[in-house]
A and B are shown apart, each in its own frame.
Chain A
Amino acid sequence: MVKDIIVENVSKTYDSDRGPVEAVKNFSMEVEKGDFVAIVGPSGCGKTTLLWGLTGLHPFTSGKAIILDKIVDKPRQSVGIVFQQANLLPWRNLIQNIYFPLEIMGKNIKEYKSKIQDLIKSVGLDGFENHHPRELSGGMQQRASIIRALSFDPQILLMDEPFGALDAYTRDEMDTLILELWEKTQKTIVFVTHRIEEAVYLANKVYVMTARPGTNSAIFNIDLPRPRPEGITMEMRYFNIVAEIKRKIVEDVEKQKKEGKYKSQAYSTIT
């Protein structure tokens, strides 16, 4: 299989008022083409830092990250990013927001128009093209931001707790939606979340990170059928995997506490 993303021993240290903070330490990961990988871990473990490192906006202090055979040193047009918040530009209407990346990249919007229109339809935003963000609900805004990330047809989608700001019901809807989009578009997705249930439902593979400094703890291959059958989240086999991952995280935290290495979230400025 082709490896779209290869991460080798990356670390990231921040300067803070209390001196350097080691957010990520020697993390490694591989993602195959068209795969759906989730990263979970306790709060403040550096999941977001890791993802931001992959975007090229936020370089790693050491280690190597390769996306589509190129070293990550700057943002690339092969990568779409979905942030924690929809982060739409309030002075643009929905369709202008979706065209925003194409404008920046100097691409011909006409060539992408029909594909984008399809995407808009598939997430149920058709008819809202001329609405401004303040007229849209949180869920609609986040759906628009996903379409924005897909607008220039990148091979890879990086998602940083994209549904964290939404209420529980909307989150579940969005999870189903993102799976539909993934099956339809065949993108390679890296999905950061602190919700293990969400990770298990969505991903083929779940990377567990330890508490800060975030490093590899375990990798779980999620052996559930694709496409996910309806009601899978209420079945025992699903719960078992979730419980297994939770147990692993609790174990890690206990171990770090025993070694006096666990830093509670009170110290954390960066999640």
Chain B
Amino acid sequence: MDSYDKELEQKVPDFEEKQDTHSKEISNLNISSAAYSTQIRGWKQTVGIIAVAIFVIGLWELLVRVLNVPDFILPPPSKIIVALVTSFPNIYQHLLFTLAELVSGYLIGAAVGLIMAAVLTQMPFIEKIITPYILILVTTPTIALVPLLMLYWGFGIGPRIFAVALATGPMVMINATTGFRRTDLAKIALAKSYGASTFQIFYKIRFPLALPMINVGLLVGGIFGLITAVGSDMVGGKIGLGNRISYYASLARMSNFFAIILLVALIGISIWIIMTIVGNKTTNWSE
């Protein structure tokens, strides 16, 4: 079981601090490094970010009004807000539906991905055989499978949850795998010198060591899950935020269209914020 057992028998760990030696691996997408480099520090930065937002939105409003751009091409931000507020009672059920499919698909996918990563990293041979297939799942947009899934299971929430799980799971798994592979032989030797069991080594050493990468996987998985949820809504059925996007676009009701886009963006930002908070709370020791 313990792949490091043999290694430990053969060599004395070098006690060098291992700083992200694995970060070059494919699983570490650019998004993930961005996630941890964009922590806001200081009021100047905050003011700057808000100033840019005000400037862009103001310029948008101004140009659309001065140049008399018709609403069906690009509505001004003010009309988008109005559309969001007035149509919210109608959008509400679509929002809840998409959130339900996102959250359930995410939880299933993340749980399966985490467990698979934890188990497979204990079995290096099987891991090597399975990894290419996981890569296929990561690189193939799962959304492409949704028409097929809907053909099998209809236009309900089931196939969409499945699609979200299929988008989230491999992302969580591949990042968590990188984390679990980050075995610090010196720390494992330490635990072993006290007679630690495989399970103790897992949850007292390997899991905390893997946590930073697991958090990255949970964040990236969440974003991919959102993309897949909205995309699945677009494929079929009459409900969900994605469905509303297609619907309003087909009617050229661009203010409503952008209102939905705004909602989707807010969900994405919430995922980001939640995962950043979770990351800071669970891995405040790293850095």
A 70-103 to B, binary, CB cutoff 8 A, 1 in contact else 0: 0000111101010111010111100000001101
> How many residues of chain A are within 8 Å of chain B by beta carbon?
35
A193 at the interface (CB under 8 A from B): no
A83 to B79, CA, bound (A): 66
Say whether, besides A14-B11, A57-B8, A89-B208, A104 and B187 are in contact (CB < 8 Å): no
Name A92's closest neighbour in chain B (CB-CB).
B285
Say whether, besides A90-B286, A134-B285, A105 and B15 are in contact (CB < 8 Å): no
Q: Determine which of B10, B193, B196, B287 lies in contact with A55 in the assembled complex, contact meaning CB atoms within 8 Å.
A: B193
A83 to B205, CA, bound (A): 17
* Chain B residues within an 8 Å CB radius of A105: 194-195
**A75, B193: Cβ atoms under 8 Å?**
yes
A49 to B211, CA, bound (A): 32
A212 to B211, CA, bound (A): 41
B200 at the interface (CB under 8 A from A): yes
A92 to B12, CA, bound (A): 24
Q: Determine which of B8, B10, B194, B287 lies in contact with A101 in the assembled complex, contact meaning CB atoms within 8 Å.
A: B194
B 39-67 to A, binary, CB cutoff 8 A, 1 in contact else 0: 00000000000000000000000000000
Say whether, besides A90-B285, A132-B285, A134-B285, A83 and B8 are in contact (CB < 8 Å): no
A48 at the interface (CB under 8 A from B): yes
A56 to B11, CA, bound (A): 13
A75 to B200, CA, bound (A): 15
- Give min CB distance, B78 to chain A, whole Å: 48
Q: Determine which of B11, B192, B195, B283 lies in contact with A77 in the assembled complex, contact meaning CB atoms within 8 Å.
A: B195
- Give min CB distance, A132 to chain B, whole Å: 6
B 202-217 to A, binary, CB cutoff 8 A, 1 in contact else 0: 0011001001000000
* Chain A residues within an 8 Å CB radius of B208: 89, 91
**B286, A104: Cβ atoms under 8 Å?**
no
A55 to B15, CA, bound (A): 17
Say whether, besides A15-B10, A59-B9, A90-B286, A84 and B200 are in contact (CB < 8 Å): no
Residues of A within 8 A of B (CB): 14-15, 48-49, 52, 55-59, 74-77, 79, 81, 83-85, 87, 89-92, 100-101, 103-105, 132-134, 152, 165, 270
Given A57-B192, A105-B195, 19 more contacts at CB 8 Å?
Answer: A14-B11, A57-B9, A57-B193, A75-B194, A79-B193, A83-B190, A84-B15, A89-B205, A90-B285, A90-B286, A91-B286, A100-B204, A101-B194, A104-B191, A104-B194, A133-B285, A165-B15, A270-B11, A270-B12
Residues of B within 8 A of A (CB): 8-12, 15, 186-187, 189-196, 200, 204-205, 208, 211, 283, 285-287
